[in-house]
Chain A
Amino acid sequence: MSDSIYAALNQIFRDVLDNDEINLSPDTTAADVRGWDSLAHINLILAIEQHFKVRFATTEIGGLSNVDELVSLIQAQV
Chain B
Amino acid sequence: MQNVAALPWLPDAPEDFRSQVKGMTNGDTARHLATHALNLTQLGQLARQMHRLDSLAPLHPFNLALLSSNTVDFLLPPLVASGARHGLALNVFGAPFGQVMQQALDPESELRSFNADAVLLYLDWRFFTLPSAMGDQAAMQEAVENAIQQTCVLRRALREAGAMVIASTISPPPLPLFGHLDARIAGTGLAFAQAYNAALIESLNGTPDVLLDVATLSATIGLATWHDAPQWHLAKIPFSMDCAPLFADHVSRLVACMRGKARKCLVLDLDNTVWGGVVGDDGVEGIKVGNGSAVGEAHLELQRTALALRERGIVLAVSSKNNDEVARKPFREHPDMLLREEHIAVFQANWQDKATNLVAIAKTLNIGVDALVFVDDNPAERALVRQALPHVAVPELPGDPALFPQHLMHAGYFEALAFSEEDRQRADQYQSNGIRAALERSATDLPSYLRSLQMVIDFSPFDAIGQPRIAQLINKSNQFNLTTRRYTEADIASMRDDSTLFTLQVRLTDRFGDNGMISVVICRLRERDWMIDTWLMSCRVLKRNVEVAVLDEIMSAARKRGVCTVWGRFVPSGKNDLVREHYAELGFAPAGSADDGTTTWQMTVADYQPHELPMVVKGATCDDPSR
In the complex, whether B149 has a CB less than 8 A from a CB of chain A is: no
Q: Which residues of B contact A62 (CB under 8 A)?
A: 234
Q: Of B202-210, B235-243, B322-330, B409-417, which stretch is located at the interface?
A: B235-243
Q: How far is the CB of B215 from chain A (nearest CB, A)?
A: 25
Partner of A15, one of B45, B233, B235, B241: B45
A50 contacts B39, CB within 8 Å? yes
Q: Which residues of B contact A42 (CB under 8 A)?
A: 74, 231, 234-235, 237, 241
A18 contacts B234, CB within 8 Å? no
Interface size on A (CB < 8 Å)? Answer: 16
Q: How far is the CB of A37 from chain B (nearest CB, A)?
A: 10
In the complex, whether B41 has a CB less than 8 A from a CB of chain A is: yes
- Bound CA span A42–B41, Å: 11
Partner of A43, one of B40, B229, B230, B233: B40
In the complex, whether B370 has a CB less than 8 A from a CB of chain A is: no
Residues 7 to 43 of chain A near chain B (Cβ within 8 Å) = 12, 15-16, 18, 38-39, 42-43
Q: How far is the CB of A51 from chain B (nearest CB, A)?
A: 10
In the complex, whether A74 has a CB less than 8 A from a CB of chain B is: no
A58 contacts B241, CB within 8 Å? no
Chain B contact residues, majority secondary structure: helix
- Bound CA span A38–B242, Å: 17
Give the residue name and chain of the A residue nearest to B241 (CB). A46
Give the residue name and chain of the A residue nearest to B237 (CB). A42
- Bound CA span A33–B484, Å: 47
Q: Which residues of B contact A15 (CB under 8 A)?
A: 18, 41, 45
Give the residue name and chain of the A residue nearest to B39 (CB). A50
In the complex, whether A57 has a CB less than 8 A from a CB of chain B is: yes
Write the B50-87 contact mask toward A (1 if CB under 8 angstroms, else 0).
00000000000000000000000110000000000000
Q: A15-B45, A18-B45, A46-B242 are in contact. Are A38 and B235 (CB under 8 A)?
A: yes
Partner of A47, one of B40, B230, B233: B40
Partner of B230, one of A12, A16, A39, A57: A57
Q: Which residues of A contact B74 (CB under 8 A)?
A: 39, 42-43
- Can you list 20 pairs linking A and B with CB atoms under 8 Å apart? A12-B41, A15-B18, A15-B41, A18-B45, A18-B48, A38-B235, A39-B74, A39-B235, A42-B235, A42-B237, A42-B241, A43-B44, A43-B74, A46-B241, A47-B40, A47-B41, A57-B230, A58-B229, A58-B234, A61-B230
Give the residue name and chain of the B residue nearest to A45 (CB). B234
Q: Which residues of B contact A39 (CB under 8 A)?
A: 73-74, 235
Residues of B participating in the A interface, judged by any CB pair closer than 8 Å: 18, 39-41, 44-45, 48, 73-74, 229-231, 233-235, 237, 241-242
A16 contacts B237, CB within 8 Å? no
A58 contacts B44, CB within 8 Å? no
Q: How far is the CB of A39 from chain B (nearest CB, A)?
A: 5
Q: How far is the CB of A3 from chain B (nearest CB, A)?
A: 23
Give the residue name and chain of the A residue nearest to B231 (CB). A42
- Bound CA span A61–B40, Å: 19
Give the residue name and chain of the A residue nearest to B233 (CB). A58
Q: A39-B235, A58-B234 are in contact. Are A46 and B40 (CB under 8 A)?
A: yes
- Bound CA span A58–B228, Å: 11
Give the residue name and chain of the A residue nearest to B228 (CB). A46
A58 contacts B230, CB within 8 Å? yes
Give the residue name and chain of the B residue nearest to A44 (CB). B41
Q: Which residues of A contact B231 (CB under 8 A)?
A: 42
Q: A39-B73, A46-B241, A46-B242 are in contact. Are A16 and B233 (CB under 8 A)?
A: no
Q: A42-B74, A43-B74, A50-B39 are in contact. Are A18 and B233 (CB under 8 A)?
A: no
A43 contacts B234, CB within 8 Å? no
Q: How far is the CB of B607 from chain A (nearest CB, A)?
A: 64
B73 contacts A43, CB within 8 Å? no
User: Which of B18, B40, B230, B241 has the largest number of chain A CB atoms within 10 A?
Assistant: B230
Q: Which residues of A contact B40 (CB under 8 A)?
A: 43, 46-47
- Bound CA span A53–B41, Å: 16
Partner of B41, one of A38, A43, A57, A61: A43
Q: Which residues of A contact B234 (CB under 8 A)?
A: 42, 58, 61-62
User: Which of B45, B73, B234 has the largest number of chain A CB atoms within 10 A?
Assistant: B234
- Bound CA span A11–B74, Å: 21
Q: How far is the CB of B15 from chain A (nearest CB, A)?
A: 13
Write the A35-78 contact mask toward B (1 if CB under 8 angstroms, else 0).
00011001100110010000011100110000000000000000
- Bound CA span A38–B231, Å: 12
Q: Which residues of A contact B39 (CB under 8 A)?
A: 50
A16 contacts B241, CB within 8 Å? no
Q: Which residues of B contact A46 (CB under 8 A)?
A: 40, 241-242
Q: Which residues of B contact A38 (CB under 8 A)?
A: 235
Q: Which residues of A contact B18 (CB under 8 A)?
A: 15
- Bound CA span A43–B73, Å: 11
- Bound CA span A47–B241, Å: 11
- Bound CA span A16–B229, Å: 23
Q: Which residues of A contact B229 (CB under 8 A)?
A: 58
Q: Which residues of A contact B230 (CB under 8 A)?
A: 56-58, 61
B235 contacts A18, CB within 8 Å? no
- Bound CA span A38–B237, Å: 12
